[in-house]
Amino acid sequence: MKSVFKPLALAAALAFVAAPAAAQETVRWGIPMAFGSNLTALGDTMPWVSEQLKKVSGGSINLQVFEPGKLVPALGIFDAVSSGKVEAGYSFMGYELGKVPVSAIFGALPFGMETPQFAAWIYFGGGDALLKEAFKPHNVYPIFCGSISPEAAGWFRKEIKTPDDLKGLKFRAAALGGKIYQKLGASVTMLPGGELFQALEKGVLDATEFSLPTVDDQLGFDKVAKNYYLPGWHQPSTNQYLYVNMAAWAKLKPQTQAQIETTCTAGVIMALAKAEALQGDMLAKFEKEGVALRQFNKPMLDAFNKASKEVLAEESAKDPMFKKVYDSMSAFQNKNRKWHDLGYLPRDYK
């Protein structure tokens, strides 16, 4: 079985952390989000978590979500939580790469683990302890609170056949993906999702990566670029987190902390299940509308992989925490590789 939780087990877990209303403290936090709540699995997970918390707490825990830019800028959530401007925020981990280099691989490790294996590392491979260790100096308590299927590699206005086709390409990418594209000669910029359609339409960008097919459809990329490349080698899993200010977290009762963390765990499987359920139909829709679904060929993937290893080695040399986490991830992935390769049906088996 590839599912991480059974529905009954999930229901039991949520019921277990619920407590009589008389013993429940009141929590009222505003939660800025990096993604619009309309974005499937990527943006609607935190609203779902918020609703479940209201239910398990009898209405005492109210985490009111705010759309990107309404409370703080979409790319400023980490700073707002760290400084105490807000008690908590919800974001992809990696936008704060400049201040917390290791955040990039907690968000997505190029050629790394897919969500089930990443969750195994977080919960049973020491990943969560490393996560807390990495963010403690920044006054942030991060909680794994959502993960989606692999992203697509991106939307391109022209076909990409060789690594030379990337040279000079004006490309939007986040976190380590951007550094890898730069190493291959692309001109990389970082823009929030809401600005990408216009940038592609006006030629400010030649190509962009962003998210899942369903999310990319919601942002209209298929209207301005017709070459849709897969697989998302740069983000085999895309991991979201609830960032909580350390002082705000410390004020909560253990019961409330457990409710929040357990409901976030439920959010991980809910986001993944929803994402997996919808992508096949979306790819069929794209094909019907004239989008060319393309897979990067082996020379392209080899070039990306080589550049990825170089970037990861460089980042490890610059930052001890990055190296510590990357080594832990790699060891876990390698230790389980034989099981992963032999225990599941080959993906090309039909």
Geometric angle at alpha carbon 21, from 18 and 22, rounded to 5°? 130
Residues 297 and 166 grouped into a single domain: yes
pLDDT value of position 200: 86
Residues 14 and 63 grouped into a single domain: yes
Residues 55 and 191 grouped into a single domain: no
Both tokens assigned to 111: 């050629």
CB 142 within 8 A of CB 247: no
Does residue 350 form part of some domain?
Answer: no
Both tokens assigned to 97: 């790469």
Query: 320: Cβ–Cβ under 8 A, 6 or more apart, which residues?
Result: none
Query: 123: Cβ–Cβ under 8 A, 6 or more apart, which residues?
Result: none
Geometric angle at alpha carbon 38, from 34 and 44, rounded to 5°? 65
Residues 297 and 223 grouped into a single domain: yes
Strands 140-148 and 88-92: unpaired
Tell me the CATH number at 144. 3.40.190.170
Residue 17 has pLDDT above 70, yes or no: no
Residues 226 and 309 grouped into a single domain: yes
For the chain, what percent of residues have pLDDT higher than 70? 94
Range of the domain at 329: 154-235+279-334
pLDDT tens, residue by residue, 83-115: 999 999 999 998 888 899 999 999 999 999 999
Does residue 1 form part of some domain?
Answer: no
Does residue 347 form part of some domain?
Answer: no
Residues 314 and 216 grouped into a single domain: yes
Does residue 311 form part of some domain?
Answer: yes
Edge-first strand listing for the sheet containing 88-92: 88-92, 238-245, 140-148
Residues 165 and 209 grouped into a single domain: yes
Strands 61-66 and 292-295: unpaired
Residues 224 and 316 grouped into a single domain: yes
Strands 187-189 and 170-172: parallel
pLDDT tens, residue by residue, 210-264: 889 998 999 899 998 999 999 999 999 999 999 999 999 999 999 999 999 999 9
Rg (CA), the chain: 20
Residues 25 and 161 grouped into a single domain: no
Does residue 67 form part of some domain?
Answer: yes
Sign for the CA dihedral angle at 3, 32, 279, 329 comes to negative
Phi, psi of 90 (to 5 degrees): -125, 125
Instruction: Indicate the number of domains in the chain.
Output: 2
3-state secondary structure of 25: coil
Tell me the CATH number at 201. 3.40.190.10
Q: What is the mean pLDDT of residues 13-29?
A: 67
pLDDT value of position 4: 42
Residues 84 and 217 grouped into a single domain: no
Residues 116 and 132 grouped into a single domain: yes
Name the pLDDT band for 348 (thresholds 50, 70, 90): confident
Phi, psi of 169 (to 5 degrees): -65, 130
Both tokens assigned to 84: 């105490």
Does residue 284 form part of some domain?
Answer: yes
Is the omega angle on the peptide bond into residue 231 within 30 degrees of 0, that is, cis?
yes
Does residue 339 form part of some domain?
Answer: no
Phi, psi of 18 (to 5 degrees): -70, 145
pLDDT value of position 194: 79
d(Cα 228, Cα 291) in Å, to the nearest integer?
A: 7
Edge-first strand listing for the sheet containing 154-156: 187-189, 170-172, 207-208, 154-156, 227-230, 292-295
Phi, psi of 267 (to 5 degrees): -65, -30
Does residue 340 form part of some domain?
Answer: no
CB 172 within 8 A of CB 191: yes
pLDDT tens, residue by residue, 127-138: 999 999 999 999
Residues 283 and 196 grouped into a single domain: yes
CB 198 within 8 A of CB 217: no
